[in-house]
Chain A
């Protein structure tokens, strides 16, 4: 199963809808609760990163019996130093974004923590592509 969504930069009204739809789809196909929880964190944080930082992008979820792959590809400023961006508390979000409860520098660290595998490719001035894999582990294993 593949779900794909176009995400517009700075569209805070619709932001989060794609992640919510991914959650519903994962629940419908019977993925494990923990897989759904982690996938939602990755999808939502990745979606918000596009909304906050990029001009536009796509959020794609590919669902397999043993895993979920979430890809967020955007046209935006890119990330000059990925290891710095992965540090908890590091953020480049402006003050008006912080006032909305974002920009605490936890987005990428949360994505990393919830992913079994994470790849980030970024070119400054062009955009960023993030691919996360979440394994669908059976409860209790």
Chain B
């Protein structure tokens, strides 16, 4: 993914069971499955709160969007790895699908 790990370097061996790509908070909450990788361009604090509630395993931010310090701090507290890639949402999901990750 050419992704930079923002936080959670020590957790990169965890497994995700599915992927969910979305730029809407409500849809992330309603349609994703526990233990998924959340792929999104949203970098506000609410995406971390939702990721925690849906029991996502990690967040991959697309389009090179980096979250702010307060978001990184909350993610650390919740032991939620954060990564960022310059790829777009479509390409990121496509690459992950190509490598075997399936939809939530």
A19 to B1, CA, bound (A): 33
Whole-angstrom distance between the Cβ of A54 and the nearest chain B Cβ = 17
Q: How distant is B96 from chain A, measured CB to nearest CB, in Å?
A: 21
**Closest CB in chain A relative to B3 CB, distance in Å:** 21
The reply to whether B44 and A44 form a contact with Cβ atoms under 8 Å apart is no
Q: A17 CA to B52 CA in the complex, in Å?
A: 10
Query: Nearest CB to that of B78 among chain A residues?
Result: A20
Tell me if A134 counts as interface (CB < 8 A to partner B): no
Give the size range of B's interface with the partner. 10 to 19
Pick the residue among A19, A45, A101, A110 that contacts B44 (CB under 8 A). Answer: A101
Contact A45 B26 (CB under 8 A): yes
Q: Are B23 and A20 interface neighbours, CB within 8 A?
A: no
- Are A16 and B26 closer than 8 Å at their CB atoms? no
- Contacts A100-B44, A110-B30: A15 and B49 contacting too (C-beta < 8 A)? yes
CB of A106 closer than 8 Å to a CB of B: yes
Chain A contact residues, majority secondary structure: helix
A13: Cβ under 8 A from any B Cβ: yes
If the complex has contacts A12-B45, A16-B50, A110-B30, are A104 and B24 also in contact, measured as CB distance less than 8 A? yes
A19 to B26, CA, bound (A): 13
CA distance A107 to B30 in the complex (A): 10
Name the contact of B53 in the complex, choosing from A12, A16, A101, A114 (C-beta under 8 A): A16
Of B23, B27, B47, B50, most A-chain CB atoms within 10 Å: B50
- B17 within 8 Å of A (CB atoms): no
CA distance A134 to B47 in the complex (A): 25
Q: Closest approach, in angstroms, between the C-beta of A113 and any C-beta of chain B?
A: 8
The smallest beta-carbon distance between B104 and chain A, in angstroms, is 13
* Residue from A41, A101, A106 whose CB has the most chain B CB atoms within 10 Å: A101
